[in-house]
Amino acid sequence: MRQPIVLAAFVLVGSTGVLGQQARPVHKALEEFSTGVEAVARLARPGVVDISVEVRTAAEGSLGRKAGFLVEQQAHGSGVIIDPNGYILTNAHVVNGARKIEVGLYADSTKDGMRTLPAKLVGLDRDLDLAVIRIEATGLPALTLVDSDTLKQGQFVMALGSPLGLENTLTVGIVSAVRRYLKPEDPMWYLQTDAPINPGNSGGALLDAKGRLAGINTLIMTQSGGSEGIGFAIPSNIAKRTYDLIRRDGRVKRGAIGVLPETVTPTLAKALGLPVTHGVILSDVLPEGGAEAADLEPGDVVTAIDGRPVRHSRDLASAIYQKTAGESVTLEILRDGQKMTKTVAVTERPGEPERLEEIAAVSGSLVRRLGALVLPLDDKVTPLLPDIRRLYGVVVGAVPAEFAGRNPGLIAGDVIYSVNGKKVETIQQLVDEMYARKAGDPIALQIERSHQLIYIAFELQ
């Protein structure tokens, strides 16, 4: 069927007769469309930047497992200017672990030349895959954001970024879906688009027909490794909220209320004698969480959160996912057939030890004689560790590959308490103790690992 359609179109455009006269409105529409795309490109181009980074990333050993050390790599991505004073939004995976970040700015909307400026990481949200970086510049052409909740399926959009290192590449498409969950229980949703997106587009702009930022291009689904028309962008409303939190706090204090929700099924409702056949039942309420403090109980059925109906466990998880520590949510529940309303405080979700790696890669101090990047036990690091026995010590953040041969067996998350029986409270004390000894001297580090105190003994190289 495709060939006859193409031929018919050729006759329509090429004829000078009646069909040619009918084609003139079509020509005009196409010309107007082309002119509009050109205008959007000129408008948005200066607000989208090229990002080049030098990163330390986790090396992989056998069977794809992390080998426990870091290696140097070069990477490229894109970013969007959000504030004229140099603040740029990009994906966390573009700058995560970066030791050096450079931003390429287009001089203006008509020239190909770029100027390059160094950038610093303001903060990142690894869960959402967003980061904020800053360059020392003012008066920059920041993009305007559209309310992503108003976007519609089928709406025209454009992707602008640096796919495969090809700066200033524009592709066009439509919004394929406005709220796409990638996994059944995933609390995060994306804008899906068929505008071609490839590696290097990450952190770039998904634009609406007026050149406004509709989303941050983030990932694709592919079997070939390249674009197959299934791309995903973080909606602008979510991106803007995350940006504001990182600007304020340097990170996102991801929230939790301490419950385990399950979707109510007809079978479950019948077995438990529930008065509803849909909603979310709390199968567990965790100790010392906001839900327990609000007197929620296992078996409570949640029917709404902040006035919005809840029909699936994902609805509850998504609503809480958008909250940060210090906020609250209002739950409407059913308990023993009685309707109740509970206000639940959102507390900070427990940290994850593997996040030490990203902090160490950026700000860790290298102790060469231990072959490790170490961190102070401060308010940024402590939440990422399990409960530890002491309030002092030096934390091992990561092991750089080039110094792995000097490492006596330390791993990320270890807390060093003493060297040869001498207490270590600061990084400087650790360095002093290590360099007060000569090659061949015996060393015994007392560390805490997985809630246990152990010694690591070795001869200094």
Rounded distance, CA 234 to CA 192, Å?
9
Residue 10 and residue 149 in one domain: no
Provide the percentage of residues in the chain whose pLDDT is more than 70.
Answer: 87
Encoded tokens for 147: 């309310």
Catalytic residue among 50, 76, 78, 93: 93
* CATH, residue 157: 2.40.10.120
pLDDT score, position 370: 93
CA dihedral of 274, 279, 284, 285, whole degrees rounded to 10: -110
pLDDT score, position 56: 62
Res. 190 pLDDT band, cuts 50 70 90? very high
Secondary structure class of 224 (helix, strand, coil): coil
Residue 52 and residue 195 in one domain: yes
Q: Is 52 noted as a catalytic residue in this protein?
A: no
Q: Is 418 noted as a catalytic residue in this protein?
A: no
- Better pLDDT: 324 or 155: 155
Residue 20 and residue 123 in one domain: no
Res. 255 pLDDT band, cuts 50 70 90? confident
Provide the percentage of residues in the chain whose pLDDT is more than 90.
Answer: 43
Bridge partners for 442 per DSSP: 459
Rounded distance, CA 299 to CA 281, Å?
6
Rounded distance, CA 75 to CA 259, Å?
39
Q: Is 129 noted as a catalytic residue in this protein?
A: yes
The residue whose two tokens read 């690992």 is 449
pLDDT score, position 99: 80
Residue 207 and residue 279 in one domain: no
Half-sphere exposure of 461 (CA within 13 A, CB side): 11
Secondary structure class of 288 (helix, strand, coil): coil
Long-range contacts of 270-276 (CB under 8 A, 24+ apart): 272/299, 274/301, 274/334, 275/334, 275/337, 276/301, 276/303, 276/334
Catalytic residue among 50, 129, 208, 414: 129
160 contacts 169 by C-beta, under 8 angstroms: yes
Res. 382 pLDDT band, cuts 50 70 90? confident
pLDDT at 349 over 80: no
Catalytic residue among 78, 148, 176, 202: 202
Mean pLDDT confidence for 412-435: 93
pLDDT at 353 over 50: yes
pLDDT at 396 over 70: yes
Please give the residue range of the domain that contains residue 414: 353-459
Averaged pLDDT of the chain:
84
Residue 341 and residue 365 in one domain: no
Rounded distance, CA 289 to CA 230, Å?
39
pLDDT score, position 174: 94
Q: Which tens digit of pLDDT belongs to each residue from 90-106?
A: 998 898 778 889 999 98
Residue 80 and residue 218 in one domain: yes
Which are the contacts of 214, defined by CB distance < 8 A and separation ≥ 6?
A: 146, 148, 151, 157, 175, 191, 206, 207, 208, 233, 235, 236
Residue 226 and residue 78 in one domain: yes
Residue 233 and residue 128 in one domain: yes
203 contacts 196 by C-beta, under 8 angstroms: no
Residue 55 and residue 136 in one domain: yes
- At which of 305, 320, 348 does a domain end? 348
Mean pLDDT confidence for 211-235: 85
Report how many domains make up the chain.
Answer: 4
pLDDT at 184 over 90: no
Q: Which tens digit of pLDDT belongs to each residue from 14-24?
A: 444 544 555 66
Residue 170 has phi, psi (to 5 degrees) of -110, 130
- Return the number of other C-beta atoms located less than 10 Å from residue 359's C-beta: 18
pLDDT score, position 64: 44
- At which of 253, 275, 300 does a domain end? 253
- At which of 185, 219, 253 does a domain end? 253
Mean pLDDT confidence for 24-37: 81
148 contacts 241 by C-beta, under 8 angstroms: no
Encoded tokens for 188: 């995060």
pLDDT at 418 over 80: yes
Where do runs of H (alpha helix) occur along 49-197?
92-95
215 contacts 233 by C-beta, under 8 angstroms: yes
The residue whose two tokens read 């929230």 is 255
* CATH, residue 328: 2.30.42.10
Bridge partners for 308 per DSSP: 305
Residue 69 and residue 203 in one domain: yes
What predicted TM-score, i.e. pTM, was given to this entire model? Answer: 0.69
Secondary structure class of 182 (helix, strand, coil): coil
Res. 351 pLDDT band, cuts 50 70 90? low
pLDDT score, position 16: 47
Residue 8 and residue 144 in one domain: no
pLDDT score, position 226: 66
Buried b (16+ CB within 10 A) or exposed e, 14-53: eeeeeeeeebeeeeeeeeeeeeeeeebbebbbbbbbbbbb
Rounded distance, CA 370 to CA 179, Å?
48
Residue 56 and residue 203 in one domain: yes
